[in-house]
């Protein structure tokens, strides 16, 4: 809607990943280097963790776009709370394996035969496990057991685990020592600092075809405060800001425009969290104080509401993605 007004070739802040628009912050470069290093080793586990929206899946997509498809057969799976047997089935399905009997032994045998065939073709398999923090300990242990598939001491399957910060204590559990010994590199993604946030915004605008500054410098402290340096939050905010700029015909985005959108979002969050009439109890219940307006809330409270609402939306999106993935696998 606003693209033509600002002379953009496409929307610069879409939530869907574009491998040609990878913004390499200092930590993202480091994490990508770890992933690339892991590829050269051809064994063990690489573990990338970070908060929701910090770019783990973006890193994985970037890696997949760079690798040689003639040498590496890579598949990415998004996990829910899969037990060991269901995980094995999902892995077999991701590699499009046909299994005659519906039992674990048959699935493991099919995976091993497939990996041996790749090895005979001088190729190897790579498995990227996204949302790995959802896996029970037993399922992570199953991944370790799959890494035991070898020929002449050469591993046939390598796995990269991408997960939220909750994955770290899972890996550090006392009974995960054998798994930890097979981690050859790990990295934790943290939010962007303000300078990187500005660089991220300006980079995406340039990639969308903008040749001159659009946001005044004073906008970026507000963007940083709202987004906390998380790329997905930056995208959510800036997409709305550019829409406001188009609707109100602003050639330059000023701090008051950014603040206006933040206020709108705060109002929406406050409205969403207000109790509905059907949830109000009978008159015999002592009345409670009215919910404070966003203006009366402290900045920390507003941010907490924003965080909770965004987390709920992201959780719903993730659950829908997992359901779609499961339906697609069942259809195969």
Q: What angle do CA 46, 58, 258 make, to 5 degrees?
A: 135
Does the pTM exceed 0.75? no
Domain ranges of the chain: 1-13+192-273+299-332, 26-191
pLDDT digits (tens, 9 = 90+) for 189-229: 999 999 999 999 999 999 999 989 999 999 999 999 999 99
pLDDT band at 236 (very low <50, low <70, confident <90, very high): very high
What pLDDT digit, counting tens, does each position of 102-114 carry?
899 999 999 999 9
* Mean of the per-residue pLDDT values of the chain: 84
User: Which tens digit of pLDDT belongs to each residue from 160-194?
Assistant: 999 999 999 999 988 899 999 999 988 889 999 99
pLDDT of 8 reads: 94
Tokens of 171: 């890996």
- Per-residue pLDDT for 66 more than 90? no
**Strands of the 124-130 sheet, one edge to the other:** 72-78, 124-130, 157-163, 45-50, 183-189
> Which CATH number applies to 1-13+192-273+299-332?
1.10.8.60
The pLDDT confidence band at residue 59, using thresholds 50, 70 and 90, is confident
Sequence-distant (6+) residues with CB within 8 A of 113 are none
Distance from C-alpha of 91 to C-alpha of 26, rounded to nearest angstrom:
33
How would CATH label the architecture of 26-191? 3-Layer(aba) Sandwich (3.40)
CB 214 within 8 Å of CB 52: no
């Amino acid at each position: 809607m606003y693209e033509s007004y600002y002379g953009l070739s496409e929307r610069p802040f879409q939530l869907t990943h574009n491998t040609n628009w990878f913004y390499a912050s200092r930590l993202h470069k480091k994490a990508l280097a770890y992933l690339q290093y892991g590829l050269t080793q051809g064994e063990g586990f690489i573990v990338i963790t970070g908060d929701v929206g910090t770019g783990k899946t973006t890193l994985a997509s970037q890696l997949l776009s760079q690798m040689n498809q003639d040498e590496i057969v890579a598949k990415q799976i998004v996990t829910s709370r899969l037990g060991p047997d269901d995980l094995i089935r999902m892995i077999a399905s991701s590699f499009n394996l046909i299994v005659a009997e519906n039992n674990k032994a048959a699935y493991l045998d099919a995976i091993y035969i497939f990996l041996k065939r790749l090895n005979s073709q001088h190729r190897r398999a790579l498995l990227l496990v996204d949302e790995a923090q959802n896996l029970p300990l037993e399922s992570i242990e199953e991944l370790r057991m799959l890494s035991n598939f070898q020929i002449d001491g050469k591993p046939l399957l390598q796995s990269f685990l991408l997960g939220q910060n909750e994955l770290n204590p899972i890996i550090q559990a006392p009974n995960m020592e054998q798994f930890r010994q097979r981690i050859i590199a790990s990295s934790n993604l943290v939010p962007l600092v303000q300078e990187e946030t500005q660089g991220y915004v300006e980079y995406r605008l340039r990639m969308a075809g903008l040749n001159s500054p659009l946001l005044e410098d004073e906008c970026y402290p507000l963007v940083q405060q709202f987004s906390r340096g998380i790329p997905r939050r930056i995208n959510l905010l800036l997409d709305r800001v550019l829409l406001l700029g188009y609707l109100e015909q602003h050639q330059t985005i000023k701090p008051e425009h950014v603040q206006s959108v933040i206020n709108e979002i705060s109002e929406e969050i406050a409205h969403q969290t207000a109790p509905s009439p059907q949830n109000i109890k009978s008159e015999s219940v002592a009345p409670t104080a009215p919910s404070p307006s966003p203006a009366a809330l402290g900045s920390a409270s507003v941010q907490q509401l924003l965080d909770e609402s965004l987390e709920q939306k992201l959780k719903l999106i993730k659950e829908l993605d997992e359901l779609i993935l499961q339906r697609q696998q069942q259809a195969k």
